């Protein structure tokens, strides 16, 4: 039986464990430096499993040596955004936390697939890859899958079209320079860009960029966790079930879209080996330029992050 570890038993980690349990993942390890938090949530989740009639094992611990039993490791630990805080503001605070976790993963789970969630996710994924030295196909991040879902929902709310009829595409970094792609986004089989004028499309794409900050502003403390957990669970299901399904992830680029040596949000086929293949979409000149600017933004943050290490 495959075991899936979630490092960080906060809102995102706990909700992810619940969704994985509901999805049929039968062996879940919830790890946190606050062992009592992990153990308490694991007991609560066991009771949920009883309600949902799920036959699974959910363990909570602060013992990172238990990672040696895990084939998939999800890193959610770190500080959440606060009102007025950008994802970039999180870089300095979370890089130290994530680097320490990556050392534990390298020591105990050297054959695992690692899904990074901690923000800013493009930078944190790069840090994990650098510290662990793992094959980059086994280290990737969750980011644009969530952004794509947000874009789809915003389109749904605007056009009153069932969300099941919308295939939204967002690429680039999980932050202010993300690239919602209206020409590639399909609404009932038609490109979004053909259904709305440029001003309306621009309004929806900007709302997508600002969605995370809007949620933080309303919550007052902490950030989104229901939708991020759902996006994580969707990716983990694709790994565990070897679905080889195209999903938005933060992947290491080696020439795709003319970009090299940086982690950035793209569509990729996900299966039991992690990233099976990156999907290179046909971008408009404007989208390609925005994607390259997004890559430059991530590189600038990386220089800052590694200079401070």
pLDDT digits (tens, 9 = 90+) for 181-234: 999 999 999 999 999 999 999 999 999 999 999 999 999 888 999 999 999 999
Mean residue pLDDT across the chain = 95
CA–CA dist 3, 16 (Å, integer): 14
CA distances from 111 to 105, 106, 115, 185 (A): 9, 9, 13, 36
Parse the chain into domains and list their residue ranges: 4-141, 144-308
Q: How confident is the model at residue 88 (pLDDT cuts 50, 70, 90)?
A: low
Angle at 249 between CA 248 and CA 252, to 5 degrees: 135
292 catalytic? Reply is no
Choice among 110, 156, 174, 273 that is catalytic: 174
- Decide if pLDDT at 80 tops 80: no
Rg for the chain (alpha carbons), in Å?
19
pLDDT digits (tens, 9 = 90+) for 136-157: 999 999 989 999 999 999 999 9
Topology adopted by domain 4-141: Rossmann fold (3.40.50)
Closest CA to 119 of 151, 85, 150, 168: 85
pLDDT digits (tens, 9 = 90+) for 231-272: 999 999 999 999 999 999 999 999 999 999 999 999 999 999
CA–CA dist 82, 123 (Å, integer): 19
Closest CA to 152 of 175, 118, 124, 181: 181
Domain 144-308 has CATH 3.90.110.10: yes
């Amino acid at each position: 039986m495959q075991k899936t570890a979630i490092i960080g038993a906060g809102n995102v980690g706990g909700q992810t464990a619940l969704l994985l349990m509901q999805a049929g993942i039968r062996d879940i390890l919830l790890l946190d430096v606050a062992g009592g938090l992990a153990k308490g949530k694991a007991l609560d989740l066991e009771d949920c499993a009883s309600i949902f009639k799920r036959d699974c094992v959910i363990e909570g611990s602060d013992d990172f040596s238990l990672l040696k039993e895990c084939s998939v490791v999800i890193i959610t630990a770190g500080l959440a955004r606060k009102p007025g805080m950008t994802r970039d503001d999180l870089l300095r605070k979370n890089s130290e936390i994530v680097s320490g976790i990556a050392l534990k993963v390298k020591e105990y789970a050297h054959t695992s697939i690692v899904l990074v969630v901690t923000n800013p996710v493009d930078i944190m994924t790069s840090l994990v890859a650098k510290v662990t030295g793992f094959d980059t196909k086994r280290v990737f991040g969750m980011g644009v899958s969530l952004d794509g879902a947000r874009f789809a929902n915003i389109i749904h709310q605007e056009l009153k079209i069932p969300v099941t009829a919308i295939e939204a595409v967002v690429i680039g970094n999980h932050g202010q320079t993300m690239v919602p792609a209206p020409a590639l986004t399909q609404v009932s089989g038609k490109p979004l860009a053909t259904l709305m004028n440029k001003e309306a499309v621009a309004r929806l794409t900007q709302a997508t960029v600002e969605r995370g900050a809007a949620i933080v502003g309303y919550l007052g403390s902490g950030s989104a966790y229901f939708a991020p957990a759902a996006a994580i669970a969707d990716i983990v299901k694709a790994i565990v079930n070897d679905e080889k399904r195209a999903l938005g992830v933060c992947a290491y680029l080696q020439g795709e879209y003319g970009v090299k040596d940086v982690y950035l949000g793209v569509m990729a086929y996900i299966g039991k080996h992690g990233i099976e293949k990156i999907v290179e979409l046909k971008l408009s000149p404007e989208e390609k330029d925005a994607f390259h600017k997004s890559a430059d933004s991530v590189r600038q943050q990386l220089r800052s992050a590694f200079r401070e290490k």
